[in-house]
Amino acid sequence: MENQAGVEMSQIPQYWITGLTTSKIKQVASYIMFTLFPNKIPKNFLGCTILVGAFEFSPNIMLKKKDLTSSSHVEIEEGHEYRMFKTIMHYVNLSVDFRYNPDMWGWERNGSWDGVTGEIARGERVTAPVDFWNKCHLVPELECSVAFIIDHIKWWVPCAKQYPRWTAMTRVFKPSLWLTFLLAWVSVAICMSLVVTANYKINTDVSNEHNQSYTSLIKCMLNFWAVILEESASNNPPHMPAVRAMFLSWVLYCWAVNTVYQSFLTSFMVDPGVQHQLSSPEEVYASDLDIGFIKAIVTIFPELNAKKYRCSTHCENNTVCHMRVAYDSNLAIMFSEVSMDYLIASKYITKENKPLICTFDYIFGTQPVVLPFMKGYPLLPLIDDLILHILQSGLFDFWTKQIFYISTLEALKDTETVDSEYVKFSLEHLESAYGFLVLGCVFGLFLFIGENVHFNYLKKKTINSTVKKK
């Protein structure tokens, strides 16, 4: 028989006969301590059942059935923390009965806690593998295991909405550039009309028969507008070097501007871009979004009750708050990074594989995730050792990546694969072009009606004046 020190009992007398060394003395002392004070906590509990608190919180623990009543038995479908906990329970041969708690982590009320925190503190449940942030310093009846996840508390806000495609034609240039372009058009037209008029006055021998297209400001503006639209202008500009040089310079200018405009317009039609994305806590506070927290965060960080955060929503139902952020775009929440990364990858994603919930590079707080137990729980040292072995072996990281990978594949099965080389234009891409076409047709129709009304009015007025004269 060999003891924990690795020394056979038949060998012990030989150590006293032969010369003792330091290592041999330590082995003998270890054997004597094990014999006099044996480990009274077994590692095999013969399948005894323990009660464990649980609720839905992906990806740590995911239930098969969602609509449950308080304290009812639940079956677990998946979860990386669930896998770790089941591995530990299998090692010590304990059966687990998961019991549902709708109050989740719980809330302190009048010195007592509800939720799984209160159940564990009162000894009604052994533990709860539900992304439990370490708050054993707040609840003296609890004792926590070693941390196996470092979770970050971050802001999660609605993703910036895409610009309407009909604005593509106006967004290529900034308003200041559009204004400068219009001023250039008017200025060049004025200069052109002045140069032509001056040349005709100075050179009286120049024939005016074929050069009437630039003799007034209106004619110059119309001809230069035709050049802007790459349409045919006057076929016979005045035979004057100054006039033709000015006309040529305007053509080259419009050619350069049109080339840049059309290039960027195509890009804007393919990808119109997104509007401003919230990128700092200050922008969140200044926005018109509601701000929401889960109770667990407010419990650990009571400063969140300050007026600065103007908390308008306590997320009693996490799913409702997540949907408000993703689809209603009227709420910003502070939430767990581990859980939200999983939810975005598996649920809150578009068919184009774009997230519906976004965040920014700011961490409000860092919390270690632990397993809570009642104070003095005898198996806690053994559970700590098992957790460390699972972490060091890489099993926990493997389970996490596997769950994320499977969930992501499940979410992406209905997404559309976009050809990155070519994009087929559709009516959706040309919204701006057809919008301006309809606007122009409507404007032209009103002008046509106005012209007819004005013509009929003048005709009637002329007839009446003629009749009165007779």
pLDDT at 87: 95
- Assessment of whether the complete model's pTM goes beyond 0.85: no
pLDDT at 457: 85
CA distance 126 to 329: 40
CA distance 33 to 250: 101
pLDDT at 9: 47
Domains of the chain: 170-270 (1.10.287)
pLDDT at 21: 61
pLDDT at 242: 81
Consecutive 10-residue averages of pLDDT for the chain (470 residues) = 45 49 66 63 83 92 79 88 95 93 84 88 92 89 94 92 79 86 90 82 60 79 85 72 84 89 80 85 87 81 72 75 89 91 89 87 91 92 94 94 89 66 73 82 91 86 74
pLDDT at 403: 92
DSSP strand pairing (76-78 vs 94-100): unpaired
